[in-house]
Amino acid sequence: MQNIVNSIKKNRKCGVMKILFVVSSFPKLSETFILNQITGLIDLGVDVEILAFQPIYNIENHPTVAQYHLLEKVHYVNLPQSYLKRLAVGLKICLQHPKQALQQLNILKNGWYALTLRSLSLLPKMGNLDPSYDVIISHYGPNGVVVEQMKQAGFWPNSQHYTFFHGYDLTAFRRRWGHKPYQILVQSDCQIRAISHYFKKQLSDLGIPDARLAVHHMGIDCEKIKPEKSIIKSPKTLSLVTVGRLVEKKGMDQAILTLAALKQRAITAELTIIGGGALSAQLHALVHALKLDAYVYFMGEQDQIVVQKVIQAADVVILMSHISGQGDMEGIPVVLMEAMAQAKPVLSTYHSGIPELIQSEENGWLVPVDDYQAAADQLKIIATNLAQIEPIRKAARLKIETDFNNRVLNQQLYDELSARTCYAK
229 by Cβ neighbours in 10 Å (0-12 / 13-18 / 19+) ranks as exposed
Closest CA to 271 of 301, 231, 242, 244: 242
Domains assigned to the chain: 2-219+405-420 (3.40.50.2000), 238-403 (3.40.50.2000)
So what's the pLDDT on residue 6?
A: 45
Residues with Cβ within 8 Å of residue 342, at least 6 apart in sequence: 225, 226, 227, 228, 308, 311, 312, 397
Closest CA to 66 of 33, 27, 31: 27
422 by Cβ neighbours in 10 Å (0-12 / 13-18 / 19+) ranks as middle
So what's the pLDDT on residue 290?
A: 98
Closest CA to 242 of 230, 233, 229, 255: 255
Query: How far is the C-alpha of 130 from the C-alpha of 21, rounded, in Å?
Result: 12
Query: How far is the C-alpha of 320 from the C-alpha of 335, rounded, in Å?
Result: 12
DSSP, collapsed to helix, strand or coil, labels residue 53 as strand
The single-letter code of the amino acid at 410 is N
Cβ atoms of 94 and 73 within 8 Å: the answer is no
Determine how many CB atoms are found less than 10 A away from the CB of residue 276: 17
> 181 preceded by cis ω (within 30°)?
no
Look up the pTM and report it: 0.91
Residues with Cβ within 8 Å of residue 319, at least 6 apart in sequence: 242, 243, 244, 250, 251, 255, 333, 335, 336, 346, 347, 348, 349, 354
So what's the pLDDT on residue 234?
A: 67
So what's the pLDDT on residue 384?
A: 85
Query: How far is the C-alpha of 21 from the C-alpha of 32, rounded, in Å?
Result: 14
The single-letter code of the amino acid at 82 is S
Q: Output Rg (C-alpha) for the chain, integer angstroms.
A: 23
The overall longest dimension of the chain from CA atoms, in Å, is 75
Cβ atoms of 51 and 21 within 8 Å: the answer is yes
Q: What is the pLDDT along the chain (425 residues), one digit of tens a residue?
A: 344 334 444 444 447 899 999 999 999 999 999 999 999 999 999 999 999 999 999 999 999 999 999 999 999 999 999 999 999 999 999 999 999 999 899 888 888 999 999 999 999 999 999 999 999 999 999 999 999 999 999 999 999 999 999 999 999 999 999 999 999 999 999 999 999 999 999 999 999 999 999 999 999 999 999 998 776 566 789 999 999 999 999 999 999 999 999 999 999 999 999 999 999 999 999 999 999 999 999 999 999 899 999 999 999 999 999 999 999 999 999 999 999 999 999 999 999 999 999 999 999 999 999 999 999 999 999 998 877 788 999 999 999 999 999 999 999 999 999 998 865 43
List the beta strands (DSSP E) in 56-158: 74-76, 135-139
Query: How far is the C-alpha of 266 from the C-alpha of 263, rounded, in Å?
Result: 5
